Amino acid sequence: MPMRADRTATPFSRRLHLLACGLFFIFAGAGAQQAYLVPYLVRMTGWPRLHCSLVIATVYLTMMLFRVVNLTLFGRWSDRRFTFVGSLTYTLFTLAMFGTAYTRSLSLAVAAAFVWGVGAALMWTGTAMQALAMADEAGGRYGTGMGVVHAACQAGWLAGVLFLGLLYKSLSPPRLPCLYLVAAAITLLGNVLLALLPAVPEVRRRLPTVTEFMLLMGHTKIMIASGLQYASALAFGLLLGVLGSYIEARYGAQWIWIAVAFYPATLMVMSLVSGHLTDRFGSPHVLAGGFLVGAVGLWFGTAWNHPLSMVLTILMLGLLASTVPVAAGAMIGDAADRARRPLAYGIVFSWGDAGVASAALGANLLGIRLDLDSVFLVFVAIFAVCALFSIRLGYSAEQEL
């Protein structure tokens, strides 16, 4: 048995690390530009902030719909093809944003966001299924596999936020679109690495039916996990939709990249930690702790009027956002067979996309009637309630999907 474990662990590690390297560059380019997209579009096009947030919302609303729809449209594609083709739309979006600076076409921006949403749903499904399949070969280390994937994404996001942030600050307005050419070049490196990824043994995925979709939607574990995924994604939606502008207005533009960088930095570290904790203690305990930390962190940002308060807030939102995707992905790997995993994954994570879109638009809409401090307190209450529901998830921990 020990010799067999050694033979499977090495390919698991090697393939997982190659997948992680590809994702690093994808998120260092196209992923990281999201932190500057709304301010960039405002500066280059003069559109209202709500219109700029609509571009981000379109990406995540499209992802929400196509997490499941892609399983029917591209049902015969391998997980590897899902990953590679989806990653190409990340590069395409950065080039479209470069063009938007000159065309100032909201239709072009929204169309590019739609295509990216479809592709991002493809890439995330393919990536997660490959990571879980690799973990199968390594004895079911689902938390570790998902942790490495998410840590690589956040490491790339951190590097990209810092590098692109320095460019954003230093480039004059006429040259600011070059930011997106740089992001496209970085993303292209990730495309190349993902093309080199060796295939894992495929299991013919079960094409989703309306009956099976409804059965899974009504499953207690799926319902609770979906709700928690939605709520945790609100943190990322807040970051993309309003936190950058909030920090710029209150403390100055120089604090945007400094504060925002703590988000991917925290996720990079805590995704790995969350993966190991999930394998050891189970998803419910990790989820409950993450939501409590997120609630406290967001409250702290409203209670202390200082730039460092926003650094701490973003750090603690990162702690929240690092736990839920890893724990939810590990739960699916543990509870569902390989043929059923894509549908279960699509349902749960589509709610996360809905959370990002809701927060990106909803926080701006609430901000019309409330000050942003009051908006943040609304989200504090949501996160606190989710901590209680995380504990409830523990009662259904043994149920299979």
DSSP annotation string for 125-167 = HHHHHHHHHHHHHTTS-HHHHHHHHHHHHHHHHHHHHHHHHHH
Q: Does the residue 311 lie in any domain?
A: yes
Number of folded domains that form the chain: 1
Q: How far apart are CA 124 and CA 233, in angstroms?
A: 15
What CATH number did the domain enclosing 187 receive? 1.20.1250.20
Classify residue 147: in a domain, yes or no: yes
When pLDDT is averaged across residues 169-193 and rounded to a whole number, the result is 94
pLDDT at 302 over 50: yes
Check residues 46 and 270 and name the one with the higher pLDDT. Answer: 46
Element (H, E) at 200: none
Could you tell me if residue 6 is inside a domain?
A: no
pLDDT for res 61: 85
Contact between residue 159 and residue 28 where contact means Cβ atoms under 8 Å apart: yes
Residue at 5 is within a domain: no
Q: Where is pLDDT greater, at 143 or 3? A: 143
Question: Quick check: is 155 in a domain?
Answer: yes
Per the model's pLDDT, the better-predicted residue between 397 and 341 turns out to be 341
Question: Does any domain span residue 4?
Answer: no
Residue 1 is assigned to a structural domain of this protein: no
Q: How far apart are CA 53 and CA 288, in angstroms?
A: 30
Q: Tens digits of per-residue pLDDT, 108-165?
A: 999 999 999 999 999 999 998 888 888 777 666 677 778 888 889 888 988 998 899 8
Task: Using alpha carbons, list the distances in angstroms from residue 130 to 22, 198, 390.
Answer: 13, 10, 27
Residue 2 lies in a domain: no
> If you average pLDDT over every residue of the chain, what do you get?
78
Query: Closest Cα partner for 119 from 77, 150, 82, 146?
Result: 82
Which residue would you say has higher pLDDT here, 215 or 76? 76
Domain that holds residue 193: 11-396
Closest CA to 199 of 247, 154, 137: 137
Lowest mean pLDDT among 99-108, 170-179, 226-235: 226-235
